[in-house]
Amino acid sequence: MSSFIKMFKKTSKQPPLKPTIQPQSPQGKEPIEASLAANLQKVKQATGNSGDVIIREFEIGDSGQLKAAVIYTDGLADSKAISDFILESFMFDAKENGLHIGEEPFGQDVLKRIKSSSLAIGEIKEATDFEMILNAVLSGDTAILIDGQSVGIVSGTKGWKDRGVTEPSSQTVVRGPREGFSESLRTNTALIRRKIKDSNLWLESMQVGRVTKTDVALMYIKGIVNDEVLQEVRTRLQRIQIDGILESGNIEELIQDDTFTPFPTVFHSERPDTIASGLLEGRVAILVDGTPFVLLVPALFAQFFQASEDYYQRADFASVLRIVRYICFFIALMAPSLYIAITTFHQELLPSGLLIGLAAQREGVPFPAFVEALLMEITFEILREAGVRMPRAIGQSVSIVGTLVIGQAAVEAGLVSAAMVIVVAITAISNFVFPAFNMAISIRMLRFPLMGLAASFGLYGITIGLIALILHLCSLRSFGVPYMSPFAPFIATDQRDAIFRFPLWSLSSRPRLISQKNIIRENTDPPSPERGK
């Protein structure tokens, strides 16, 4: 860019009536011509003469002899800002301020004069090729082309409608902020900056997708973030070669470490406080325009069992809730398989009274326990998916009524036992406890292989499955950080915020393997009764 500016300065010293030398544009990109009519014709051809691409031609200068045009997309750009701060500034204010352009119609000071004294808008940059012009116009900005100038001006005028800041629907809390991200990238970055008012909170912008050219932003805190992780995130994003990015889930699938795993290795949230907390620990946030879900890396296994509300409640209450989530993890993963293994192979583990009751219930059931559990699990998955996809007004009632009616009818028809209905119901309820929905999906997927192992080998099969699962979890990494830390490798200081949540005054250090520098986050002593006196 610097070489280009130098070249432009050299060419501007040519005689004013012969602007034949144009600044060089980047390799493979079409330069902007000096003729305004030719440039406008190219814009019309490139956009297919689309009706929402507005081209407004006008004259500027004290005597109105210099032709210019603004180009913007109706619906994406703020038309009022264009009218008040661009057109009015050029057509009226320029004359009052004495913008004398008529003496040198192609002089080197034209762009400089316009930017310094005529364009009353904040964000301004120069465009050196046609791709920059088209990208700006189709992104909501306004392009300004002047006759005789082979460099255009791009001004920030984004102003499309969005749904605003509302309460997130996927991550609700009893106590805590009620604001959530929206589909606007700039709104999302502002929500994070409201939480972290520090100059070290840096933002890097890029575009991903050859066709969609989706705006993607990286946010991190300089001095806390791990530089190696940050560079790895940049590298993976720059390697993406795809036509379109429509949601952050596309980015997540393209940059995650291990594709062949049911467990998520990238965390996402639509809560600004959750993302701000991750940034303070040294993580990197990836914001994608057009979606309220922001990605956070590195992501660890324990992170998916932590809710933002844990840090707004008392430490003892938050610790109890976390223990409940880990218990529900084992219930949702192993309850059907344990029922199958015990009732099929290990009846001696049950008390005599319970064993007789279960045997009496299964007396008229024609299927083995594995087929019985498989039928109930598949039926419940169908009802759950139907409840999600159906209209909101009737989806919840259909799922509840369907579960009750089908479960009771199946028991009365002798297809399944009442105990199996109870086991499947407890399993399903435990699956809803997790704060992260993608972790709940992983458990639902792993439940079926464990049921097959239990039906084939009993408790020995479940043990083999758990060993394989633990080995797989310990082999995973998220952007170079072990997925099971701080459990494996075991880090004693990080156990304060893993299964238990210690008081805030004791959480004095950041996670060791995420932030390699600036580990200490606070230097305070535990509270004492004398403090309030």
What's the token pair of residue 109? Answer: 């000071």
| pLDDT of residue 348 exceeding 60 | yes
Do 256 and 477 form a contact (C-beta atoms < 8 A)? no
Distance CA 159, CA 287 (A): 19
Q: What is the mean pLDDT of the chain?
A: 83
Under 8 Å CB-to-CB from 115, ≥6 apart: which residues? 124, 153
Please report, for the chain, how many H helices and E strands are present, in that order.
18, 12
Under 8 Å CB-to-CB from 374, ≥6 apart: which residues? 448, 451
Q: What 3-state DSSP class applies to 14?
A: coil
Torsion of CA 293, 299, 300, 306, to 10 degrees: -30
Q: Which residues are paired to 205 by β-bridges?
A: 217
- For the stretch 399-411, pLDDT in tens is 666 666 777 777 7
Q: What 3-state DSSP class applies to 242?
A: coil
Q: At 183, phi and psi to the nearest 5? A: -85, -5
- pLDDT of 13 reads 42
Confidence band of 519 (pLDDT split at 50, 70, 90)? confident
Distance CA 490, CA 233 (A): 26
| pLDDT of residue 96 exceeding 60 | no
Exposed / middle / buried, residue 170 (Cβ in 10 Å: 0-12, 13-18, 19+): middle
Amino acid, res. 384:
R
Q: At 70, phi and psi to the nearest 5? A: -110, 145
What's the token pair of residue 343? Answer: 């009732």
- State the helix-helix crossing angle for 418-431 and 315-344, rounded to 10 degrees: 150
Do 258 and 155 form a contact (C-beta atoms < 8 A)? no
- pLDDT of 186 reads 87
Distance CA 237, CA 256 (A): 11
| Closest of 234, 38, 257, 258 to residue 152, by C-alpha | 38
| pLDDT of residue 130 exceeding 70 | yes
Task: Give the burial string for 118-157 (b: 16+ CB within 10 Å, else e).
Answer: bbebeeeebbbbbbbbbbbbbbbbbbbbbbbbbbbbbbbb
> What are the C-alpha distances in Å from 198 to residues 177, 280, 283, 297?
20, 11, 16, 20
In the 8-state DSSP scheme, what is residue 24? P
| pLDDT of residue 84 exceeding 90 | no
Amino acid, res. 527:
P
In the 8-state DSSP scheme, what is residue 90? I
Distance CA 255, CA 235 (A): 9
DSSP H helices, 433-517, are: 437-457, 459-475
Instruction: Calculate mean pLDDT across residues 357-381.
Output: 85
Amino acid, res. 291:
T
Q: What 3-state DSSP class applies to 72?
A: strand
| pLDDT of residue 249 exceeding 60 | yes
| pLDDT of residue 443 exceeding 50 | yes
Higher model confidence: residue 23 or residue 493?
A: 493
Do 140 and 160 form a contact (C-beta atoms < 8 A)? yes
Confidence band of 156 (pLDDT split at 50, 70, 90)? confident
Distance CA 236, CA 254 (A): 8
Judged by average pLDDT, the poorest of 79-88, 128-137, 238-247, 434-443 is 79-88
Under 8 Å CB-to-CB from 347, ≥6 apart: which residues? 355
Percentage of the chain beyond pLDDT 70 is 85
Torsion of CA 421, 424, 425, 428, to 10 degrees: -160
- For the stretch 378-399, pLDDT in tens is 888 888 887 777 776 665 666 6
In the 8-state DSSP scheme, what is residue 414? T
Q: What 3-state DSSP class applies to 201?
A: strand
- pLDDT of 402 reads 67
Strand ranges, E, within 248-402: 267-269, 284-288, 294-297
Distance CA 503, CA 39 (A): 64
In the 8-state DSSP scheme, what is residue 32? P
What's the token pair of residue 510? Answer: 């950041």
- pLDDT of 203 reads 93
Task: Find where tokens 């914001």 sit.
Answer: 287
Confidence band of 162 (pLDDT split at 50, 70, 90)? confident
